[in-house]
């Protein structure tokens, strides 16, 4: 049997669209290019860890009022950055091995534009500096002294980020440092906030911000400011963000990989798991660290998975803002 080759006209006829004017056809084209099917309820926000709940609340307020996904993710993660009790993001974050708090962050909008800062010191809101880099320069990433100078020039205020609580934890780590105690190797505090949001208009944006691994080598930069590793958004497909051992997310271009899996047809959940399976394969099953991904697609569907037990994420919809457990792949 000879297979019928479908023409554009056949498609339009089948869909009852013959006879539509040019302006209506424009919308058909937009739909065909991947406009949201609005399967889920909009808006939607997903973010990592328990502190994601407070961040989601802020992001959700903005989105429910009709605000943009980009504003929602920036203002949402600002809440975590300003929280002195949170020892893994922004103000109050645990320092590096020299006692210096260094911050990494990146942001990506629906237009594919993005900005990042790494090894930034003395600024409470690195995500807002990252957004400024995106919008007020033609670069993507600024680091260290240069990022600080850029932030100060744009009106951000300098502030000591090392709280007493974080300083005490650092001193305790230094005092006890030996290969005999619990502190060595350094603890794996994995509480970066990654957030992806879908606004009422169907647009996606993402943000990722962290103080990085506790007691890291001075100068170490993780995955969180690296577009494609700690965060990636494609407005036609979905967005993904990471938390956990940043080096592993960088080595697999983790967040990009999750989005590419979704592009190939995977659900957000399948995509997160596929990216982690890739890593397990790369390491031949030898995994002694934690890494997790969250994802949100254009239809408002979410996914979350980690290598090991313990991932929690916050999920906001118009109905609720709820803390949930992520699926994990390696049972110890
Ligand atoms: N991904 C972060 C980093 O490697 C750590 C974390 O998620 O807490 O810097």
Distance of alpha carbon 45 from alpha carbon 61, whole angstroms: 11
Q: Which of 167, 172, 201 is nearest to 186 (CA)?
A: 172
What is residue 182's predicted lDDT score, i.e. its pLDDT?
52
What is residue 186's predicted lDDT score, i.e. its pLDDT?
47
What is residue 39's predicted lDDT score, i.e. its pLDDT?
62
**What residue ranges define each of the domains in the chain, with the CATH number in brackets?**
39-328 (3.60.20.30)
Site to probe by mutation for ligand 1, drawn from 52, 95, 192, 219 as the one with most ligand atoms within 8 Å of Cβ, is 192
Burial of 28 (0-12, 13-18, 19+ CB in 10 A): middle
What is residue 284's predicted lDDT score, i.e. its pLDDT?
92
Q: Ligand 1: does its nearest atom lie under 6 Å from the Cβ of 223?
A: yes
Q: What would the two tokens of residue 296 be?
A: 């949100």
Gap from CA of 291 to ligand 1 centroid (Å) = 9
Site to probe by mutation for ligand 1, drawn from 207, 216, 217, 222 as the one with most ligand atoms within 8 Å of Cβ, is 222
List average pLDDT for each run of 10 residues in the chain, which is 332 residues long. 42 43 40 48 95 98 98 98 95 95 98 98 98 98 98 98 95 76 52 97 98 95 98 98 96 97 98 97 92 97 97 97 97 82
Distance of alpha carbon 17 from alpha carbon 8, whole angstroms: 11
Q: What would the two tokens of residue 242 be?
A: 């990471």
Q: Ligand 1: does its nearest atom lie under 6 Å from the Cβ of 47?
A: no
Q: State the closest ligand 1 atom to the C-alpha of 247, by its place in the atom list counted from 1.
A: 4
Q: Which of 287, 233, 237 is nearest to 111 (CA)?
A: 233
Gap from CA of 308 to ligand 1 centroid (Å) = 15
Q: What would the two tokens of residue 150 be?
A: 């850029």
What is residue 285's predicted lDDT score, i.e. its pLDDT?
87
Distance of alpha carbon 3 from alpha carbon 218, whole angstroms: 64
Gap from CA of 227 to ligand 1 centroid (Å) = 14
Q: Ligand 1: does its nearest atom lie under 6 Å from the Cβ of 88?
A: yes
What is residue 255's predicted lDDT score, i.e. its pLDDT?
98
What is residue 1's predicted lDDT score, i.e. its pLDDT?
40
Q: Which residue has the tokens 């399976």?
A: 277
What is residue 17's predicted lDDT score, i.e. its pLDDT?
43
């Amino acid at each position: 049997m000879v297979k019928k080759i479908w023409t554009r006209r056949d498609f339009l006829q089948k869909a009852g669209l013959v006879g539509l004017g040019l302006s209506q056809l424009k919308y058909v084209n937009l739909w065909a290019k991947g406009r949201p099917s609005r399967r889920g309820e909009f808006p939607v926000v997903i973010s990592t860890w328990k502190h994601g709940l407070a961040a989601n609340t802020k992001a959700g307020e903005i989105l429910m009022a009709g605000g943009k996904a980009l504003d929602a993710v920036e203002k949402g993660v600002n809440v975590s950055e300003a929280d002195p009790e949170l020892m893994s993001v922004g103000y109050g974050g645990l320092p590096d091995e020299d006692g210096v708090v260094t911050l990494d962050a990146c942001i990506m909008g629906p237009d594919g534009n993005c900005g990042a800062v790494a090894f930034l010191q003395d600024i409470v809101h690195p995500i807002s500096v990252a957004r400024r880099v995106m919008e007020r320069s033609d670069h993507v990433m600024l680091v260290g002294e240069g990022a600080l100078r850029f932030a100060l020039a744009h009106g951000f205020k300098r502030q000591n980020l090392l709280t007493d609580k974080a300083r005490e934890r650092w001193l305790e780590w230094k005092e006890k440092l030996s290969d005999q105690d619990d502190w060595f190797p350094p603890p794996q505090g994995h509480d970066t906030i990654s957030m992806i949001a879908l606004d009422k208009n169907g647009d996606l944006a993402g943000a990722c911000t962290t103080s990085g691994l506790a007691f890291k080598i001075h100068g170490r930069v993780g995955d969180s400011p690296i577009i494609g590793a700690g965060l990636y958004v494609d407005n036609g497909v979905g967005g993904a963000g990471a938390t956990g051992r940043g080096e592993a997310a960088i080595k697999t271009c983790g967040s990009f990989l999750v989005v590419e899996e979704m592009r190939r047809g995977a659900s957000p959940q399948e995509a997160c798991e596929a990216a982690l399976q890739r890593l397990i394969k790369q390491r031949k099953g030898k995994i002694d660290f934690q890494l997790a991904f969250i994802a949100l697609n254009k239809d408002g569907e979410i996914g979350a998975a980690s290598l090991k037990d313990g991932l929690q994420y916050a999920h906001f919809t118009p109905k609720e803002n709820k803390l949930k457990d992520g699926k994990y792949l390696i049972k110890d």
